[in-house]
Amino acid sequence: MANYNCISEMPPDSSAKGFRVAIGQSGNADELCQKLFDAVQSCKKGEIALDVLFHCDPAKLVVPSYIMKGLEGLQTQFDRKQEDLLATSSKAKA
């Protein structure tokens, strides 16, 4: 979990309550995984994301690796498209 510290410090009444309970009550990694899985199944991810943004110090937030990989992929596609457009534009001017 990329923002473990942030989520564990969120207010008890936040939408991340299930995650806080899972973190606090798990005795080992297997139990933590199961409790986090159960919490994910019963939560509204958008609400949790907003709570994290409002309650956590932005300087301490860590972008999860799957999101970073997705953003890097989008950047690569954008760069490639931009290069194609610039090449097409320069050919049209010639």
**pLDDT for the residue 4:** 75
> Which residues form the domain of 86?
63-94
Pairs from 57-64 (Cβ < 8 Å, separation ≥ 24): 57/6, 60/3, 60/5, 60/6, 61/3, 61/6, 62/2, 62/3, 63/2, 64/2, 64/3
Band of residue 94 on the pLDDT scale cut at 50, 70, 90: low
67/56 same-domain check: no
44/28 same-domain check: yes
24/55 same-domain check: yes
22/36 same-domain check: yes
48/80 same-domain check: no
Number of domains in the chain: 2
Q: How far is residue 12 CA from its own chain's centroid? A: 21
Radius of gyration of the chain (CA): 20
Q: What is the pLDDT of residues 22-81, one digit of tens each?
A: 888 888 999 989 988 988 888 887 888 888 888 888 888 888 899 999 999 999 999 999
The region, left, alpha or beta by phi > 0 then psi within -120 to 50, assigned to residue 62 is beta
Whether the pTM exceeds 0.85: the reply is no
